[in-house]
Structure 1
Amino acid sequence: MQIEQLKLALIEWILETQSRQLLDALWEWKAAQKAERERRFFALCGSWQSDQTGDELAQEIYNARNDQPRDIIL
Protein backbone atom coordinates (compact mmCIF):
# COMPACT_ATOMS: atom_id res chain seq x y z
CA MET A 1 0.00 0.00 0.00
CA GLN A 2 1.37 3.39 -0.92
CA ILE A 3 1.65 6.36 1.43
CA GLU A 4 -1.16 8.25 -0.28
CA GLN A 5 -3.49 5.27 0.10
CA LEU A 6 -2.61 5.02 3.79
CA LYS A 7 -3.29 8.71 4.28
CA LEU A 8 -6.66 8.37 2.55
CA ALA A 9 -7.55 5.31 4.65
CA LEU A 10 -6.65 7.21 7.82
CA ILE A 11 -8.79 10.19 6.82
CA GLU A 12 -11.72 7.93 6.05
CA TRP A 13 -11.32 6.15 9.39
CA ILE A 14 -11.29 9.47 11.28
CA LEU A 15 -14.40 10.65 9.48
CA GLU A 16 -16.20 7.39 10.20
CA THR A 17 -15.52 7.45 13.95
CA GLN A 18 -17.26 10.66 14.88
CA SER A 19 -13.98 12.42 14.44
CA ARG A 20 -14.81 15.61 16.29
CA GLN A 21 -15.72 13.86 19.53
CA LEU A 22 -12.79 11.49 19.30
CA LEU A 23 -10.29 14.23 18.57
CA ASP A 24 -11.68 16.41 21.37
CA ALA A 25 -11.33 13.52 23.79
CA LEU A 26 -7.75 12.89 22.66
CA TRP A 27 -6.81 16.56 23.05
CA GLU A 28 -8.36 16.70 26.53
CA TRP A 29 -6.40 13.59 27.54
CA LYS A 30 -3.18 15.06 26.15
CA ALA A 31 -3.76 18.38 27.95
CA ALA A 32 -4.48 16.56 31.22
CA GLN A 33 -1.21 14.64 30.89
CA LYS A 34 0.73 17.85 30.29
CA ALA A 35 -0.94 19.59 33.25
CA GLU A 36 -0.11 16.64 35.51
CA ARG A 37 3.54 16.63 34.40
CA GLU A 38 3.78 20.37 35.04
CA ARG A 39 2.13 20.02 38.45
CA ARG A 40 4.60 17.30 39.47
CA PHE A 41 7.56 19.31 38.22
CA PHE A 42 6.61 22.50 40.05
CA ALA A 43 5.86 20.55 43.23
CA LEU A 44 9.52 19.51 43.34
CA CYS A 45 11.30 22.79 42.78
CA GLY A 46 11.55 26.32 43.98
CA SER A 47 11.20 26.35 47.74
CA TRP A 48 12.24 24.84 51.05
CA GLN A 49 11.83 25.72 54.68
CA SER A 50 14.65 27.59 56.36
CA ASP A 51 15.20 29.92 59.27
CA GLN A 52 17.29 32.18 57.02
CA THR A 53 15.81 35.03 55.05
CA GLY A 54 16.45 35.25 51.35
CA ASP A 55 18.95 38.06 51.91
CA GLU A 56 20.85 36.01 54.51
CA LEU A 57 21.00 33.02 52.17
CA ALA A 58 22.20 35.19 49.28
CA GLN A 59 24.91 36.69 51.51
CA GLU A 60 26.04 33.21 52.63
CA ILE A 61 26.33 32.08 49.01
CA TYR A 62 28.21 35.26 48.08
CA ASN A 63 30.63 34.83 50.99
CA ALA A 64 31.31 31.21 50.01
CA ARG A 65 32.51 32.21 46.56
CA ASN A 66 36.16 31.65 45.73
CA ASP A 67 37.09 34.09 43.01
CA GLN A 68 40.69 34.94 43.81
CA PRO A 69 43.09 35.64 40.95
CA ARG A 70 44.91 32.59 39.61
CA ASP A 71 48.37 32.34 38.15
CA ILE A 72 47.88 31.02 34.64
CA ILE A 73 50.74 30.46 32.26
CA LEU A 74 49.74 30.75 28.64
Structure 2
Amino acid sequence: MKSKSNMVLIGMPASGKSTVGVQLAKWLSMGFIDTDLLVQARAGESMQAFQNQNGLDDYRKLEADTARSVVCENCV
Protein backbone atom coordinates (compact mmCIF):
# COMPACT_ATOMS: atom_id res chain seq x y z
CA MET A 1 0.00 0.00 0.00
CA LYS A 2 1.37 3.39 -1.00
CA SER A 3 1.47 5.90 1.84
CA LYS A 4 0.09 9.37 1.21
CA SER A 5 1.98 12.42 2.25
CA ASN A 6 2.14 16.13 1.56
CA MET A 7 4.86 18.39 0.23
CA VAL A 8 5.20 21.87 1.73
CA LEU A 9 6.98 24.71 -0.05
CA ILE A 10 8.41 27.44 2.18
CA GLY A 11 10.16 30.56 0.98
CA MET A 12 10.29 34.31 0.79
CA PRO A 13 7.35 36.24 -0.69
CA ALA A 14 7.29 36.25 -4.49
CA SER A 15 9.93 33.51 -4.67
CA GLY A 16 7.79 31.30 -6.92
CA LYS A 17 6.24 28.87 -4.41
CA SER A 18 2.80 28.99 -6.01
CA THR A 19 4.13 28.83 -9.56
CA VAL A 20 6.39 25.87 -8.80
CA GLY A 21 3.78 24.29 -6.53
CA VAL A 22 1.11 24.12 -9.22
CA GLN A 23 3.50 22.51 -11.69
CA LEU A 24 4.90 20.13 -9.07
CA ALA A 25 1.40 19.04 -8.05
CA LYS A 26 0.51 18.31 -11.68
CA TRP A 27 3.75 16.41 -12.26
CA LEU A 28 3.27 14.30 -9.11
CA SER A 29 -0.52 13.88 -9.61
CA MET A 30 -1.17 15.59 -6.29
CA GLY A 31 -3.62 18.26 -5.18
CA PHE A 32 -2.50 21.86 -4.72
CA ILE A 33 -3.39 24.20 -1.85
CA ASP A 34 -2.21 27.81 -1.68
CA THR A 35 -2.49 28.96 1.93
CA ASP A 36 -2.18 32.61 0.86
CA LEU A 37 -5.51 32.23 -0.93
CA LEU A 38 -7.04 30.59 2.14
CA VAL A 39 -5.82 33.48 4.33
CA GLN A 40 -7.33 36.02 1.93
CA ALA A 41 -10.63 34.13 1.92
CA ARG A 42 -10.74 34.11 5.73
CA ALA A 43 -9.82 37.79 5.90
CA GLY A 44 -12.37 38.74 3.27
CA GLU A 45 -9.84 41.10 1.70
CA SER A 46 -6.30 41.13 0.37
CA MET A 47 -3.49 40.26 2.73
CA GLN A 48 -2.09 43.80 2.45
CA ALA A 49 -5.47 45.39 3.18
CA PHE A 50 -5.88 43.16 6.23
CA GLN A 51 -2.39 44.07 7.48
CA ASN A 52 -3.02 47.76 6.92
CA GLN A 53 -6.27 47.67 8.86
CA ASN A 54 -5.37 45.19 11.64
CA GLY A 55 -1.59 45.22 11.92
CA LEU A 56 1.12 42.66 11.36
CA ASP A 57 0.54 40.76 14.61
CA ASP A 58 -3.11 40.08 13.75
CA TYR A 59 -2.11 39.08 10.22
CA ARG A 60 0.47 36.61 11.52
CA LYS A 61 -2.12 35.11 13.87
CA LEU A 62 -4.62 34.76 11.01
CA GLU A 63 -1.95 33.20 8.81
CA ALA A 64 -0.89 30.71 11.52
CA ASP A 65 -4.49 29.79 12.39
CA THR A 66 -5.24 29.25 8.71
CA ALA A 67 -2.18 27.04 8.16
CA ARG A 68 -3.05 24.94 11.23
CA SER A 69 -6.61 24.46 9.96
CA VAL A 70 -5.57 22.82 6.69
CA VAL A 71 -6.37 19.11 6.55
CA CYS A 72 -5.16 17.35 3.43
CA GLU A 73 -3.50 14.26 2.04
CA ASN A 74 -1.39 13.92 -1.07
CA CYS A 75 -1.13 17.67 -1.66
CA VAL A 76 1.49 20.28 -2.44
Q: TM-score range by the shorter chain?
A: under 0.3
Question: TM-score normalized by structure 1?
Answer: 0.27
Which structure carries more relative contact order (alpha carbon 8 Å, separation 6+)?
2
Larger relative helix fraction: 1
Question: TM-score normalized by structure 2?
Answer: 0.26
